[in-house]
Amino acid sequence: SVYSRAAMIERKIEIQSIELIPDSIVAEVETKENVHDFGYITEDEIVEHSFTIENRGQKTLELLEIEVPCNCTEVEVEQSVLQPGQSTTLKVIFTPKGFKGLQYRDITIKTNGIPEKIVFTVTADIVDEKP
């Protein structure tokens, strides 16, 4: 082959550098935080936290699919289509009824931008009484 290693050595071809030019016409997802710890809570408490998602790219960002781990976690999104420069809020509501100990819940959002998947995590330590 013309491009094989042996051909390169025989012809004394050397690659000096490679420059990757990113496609500037994409939707770029930016988040300020991806993890929130509710701390110690009792199983009777319903807790919530809001995450911010921003489109830093030059193309419309679409939140295509939201994967929620169980019925104990609800997700509300203000808007699922963001124009360049816009942001939205993802509200996560966690109902710990029936759970004990340290709990983790990952919420995955599939997008048409970069990255294609965003993962938000909420944690809580569910106790009988707060320390």
Each residue's pLDDT tens digit, 40-63: 999 999 999 999 999 998 899 999
Beta carbons of 33 and 51 less than 8 angstroms apart: yes
Q: What's the one-letter identity of residue 69?
A: P
Pairing of strands 73-77, 29-31: unpaired
Q: Round the average pLDDT of the chain to a whole number and report it.
A: 88
Whether the pTM exceeds 0.85: the reply is no
Asked if pLDDT for residue 79 goes beyond 80, the answer is: yes
**In this predicted structure, what is the pLDDT of residue 130?**
78
Q: List CB contacts of 100: < 8 A, sequence separation 6 or more.
A: 43, 126, 127
